């Protein structure tokens, strides 16, 4: 079920009014049923996989808390982590393993013809973080299976995040008897419309050009491929941050607070800062449960570089069972290691030109990695990069559809002005707190909704991160 669909509008309207009039246990049951229906809309039987991972980590966490010895606690932790990761491996990485095994000439094993369960990596990471936090003694194991199930599968963030932490979301789900305030609904609704604008108007329109060029990359020159890559950077940001905005908005309308997942990442002055602003819930997960577990920066410079590379390589593999994603993660790990070696610090220089130059450099470096993220194969990425670097025949530049490009750039301009000039200084909450702030949010939502109706791509596909 897509946020940008009529079906979801009907689904959420019914869910919202039922949730509003119910209380306590009734709301918890409703959330579980609604989340199950939301997930089953894709492939119904796959909800059983979701239930399986929930049961594995639910009982593992209780086992950890009830154990008296560190050895027993570790055994329950490993039971949860290994079995949950095994589910992820079977459905996401088995065929990748088979491909590499066969390529090395060790056998002729056949693929398992299976469709990847939507959002599997997201709810696996959310579930794992809960078990690890219980093991570390930072939180108590949740004894109510219904509450824990809603923590893992709450429908706004179920298939593409943000990856919520137990210490933030579980306390909100335990009581579930809060009164839905008008301010929450207004702020959440405005946030949802803003995310919808980024998805339908910017991302889905940019994807038309990106897909046309990347799907026929051998017929295009370097300048055309450069523009397509720049637009893909915009597309993936607006697609993913747009989903996060909508997820945060939907939860807020129901009275729940999710953590922020993006903070204007393309305005970063370093790669380190970029990864503190991009997909914050994942980058912080990788930092807390991989990088720090590997030793972080506590064991010398060389070990720090190794830890950064390992963390980002695994982060790349998390995105997809492909060497392209591993290379993408490796490049980001290399960037971070070089910055660490050069002593680059996250700072905000006062000089505007220096700010602009640093942000431009970071954007270019990130766009280079996006080639591997977008390309279907390594050979395709290799050809595209070769053309981008050496094939500078501007006479062969192909705008494809100038009207579409004009619409894309106009929408990007509106998006940048809104995010940088308005949201950089004030959040939706702080805007609402202004005098007549509610009216301002309502008026802007109406304007963006009209823009969506007039210029949105009604044929846009599902969100990019659903495949992860």
Q: How far lies 302's CA from each of 32, 82, 152, 359, in Å?
A: 47, 29, 37, 27
For tokens 């395709």, name the residue.
Answer: 380
Catalytic, 319? Answer: yes
Structure tokens at 411: 């929408």
Q: Where are the alpha helices (DSSP H) in 217-351?
A: 222-253, 271-277, 280-286, 292-294, 301-319, 323-342
Structure tokens at 415: 């998006």
For tokens 């908005």, name the residue.
Answer: 249
Q: How far lies 35's CA from each of 27, 150, 172, 249, in Å?
A: 12, 8, 16, 16
* Pair 183, 432: CB distance under 8 Å: yes
Annotated catalytic residue, options 279, 319, 392, 396: 319
Query: H or E segment at 435?
Result: none
CB atoms within 10 A of CB 183: 15
Q: Give first-to-last CA distance, the chain, whole Å.
A: 16
Rounded to 5°, angle at Cα 82 from 56 and 140: 50
Catalytically active residues, by annotation = 319
């Amino acid at each position: 079920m897509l946020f940008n669909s009529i079906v979801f509008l009907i689904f959420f309207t019914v869910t919202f009014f039922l949730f509003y009039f119910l209380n306590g246990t009734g709301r918890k049951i409703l959330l579980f049923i609604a989340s199950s229906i939301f997930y089953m809309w894709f492939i119904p039987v796959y909800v059983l996989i979701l239930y399986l991972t929930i049961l594995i980590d639910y009982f593992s966490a209780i086992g950890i808390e009830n154990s008296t010895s560190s050895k027993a606690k570790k055994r329950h932790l490993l039971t949860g982590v290994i079995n949950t990761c095994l589910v992820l491996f079977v459905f996401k990485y088995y065929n990748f393993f088979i491909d590499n095994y066969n390529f090395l000439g060790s056998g002729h094993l056949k693929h398992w013809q299976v469709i990847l369960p939507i959002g599997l990596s997201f709810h696996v990471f959310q579930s794992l973080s809960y078990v690890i936090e219980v093991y570390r003694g930072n939180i108590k194991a949740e004894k109510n299976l219904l509450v824990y199930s809603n923590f893992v599968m709450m429908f706004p963030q179920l298939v593409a995040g943000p990856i919520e932490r137990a210490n933030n979301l579980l306390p909100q789900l335990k009581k579930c008897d809060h009164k839905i305030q008008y301010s929450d609904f207004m702020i959440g609704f405005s946030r949802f419309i803003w995310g919808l604008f980024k998805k339908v108007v910017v991302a889905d329109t940019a994807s038309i050009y990106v897909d046309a060029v990347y799907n026929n990359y051998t017929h295009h020159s370097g300048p055309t491929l450069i523009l397509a890559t720049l637009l893909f950077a915009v597309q993936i940001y607006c697609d993913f941050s747009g989903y996060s905005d909508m997820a945060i908005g939907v939860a807020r309308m129901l009275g729940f607070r999710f953590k922020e997942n993006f903070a204007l990442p393309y305005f970063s002055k370093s790669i380190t800062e970029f990864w503190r602003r991009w997909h914050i819930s994942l980058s912080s997960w990788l930092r807390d449960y991989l990088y720090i577990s590997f030793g972080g920066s506590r064991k010398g410079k060389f070990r720090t570089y190794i830890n950064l590379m390992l963390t980002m390589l695994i982060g790349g593999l998390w995105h997809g069972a492909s060497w392209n994603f591993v290379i993408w993660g490796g490049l980001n790990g290399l960037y971070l290691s070089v910055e660490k070696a050069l002593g680059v610090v996250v700072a905000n220089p006062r000089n505007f030109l220096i700010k602009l130059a640093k942000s431009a450099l970071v954007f270019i470096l990130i766009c280079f990695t996006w080639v591997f993220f977008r390309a279907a194969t390594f050979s395709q990425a290799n050809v595209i990069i070769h053309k981008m670097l050496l094939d500078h025949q501007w006479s062969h530049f192909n705008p494809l559809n100038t009207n579409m490009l004009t619409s894309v750039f106009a929408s990007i301009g509106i998006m940048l002005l809104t995010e940088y000039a308005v949201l950089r200084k004030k959040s939706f909450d702080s805007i609402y707190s202004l005098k007549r702030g509610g009216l301002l949010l309502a008026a802007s939502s109406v304007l963006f909704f009209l823009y969506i109706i007039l210029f949105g791509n009604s044929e846009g596909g599902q969100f990019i991160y659903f495949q992860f």
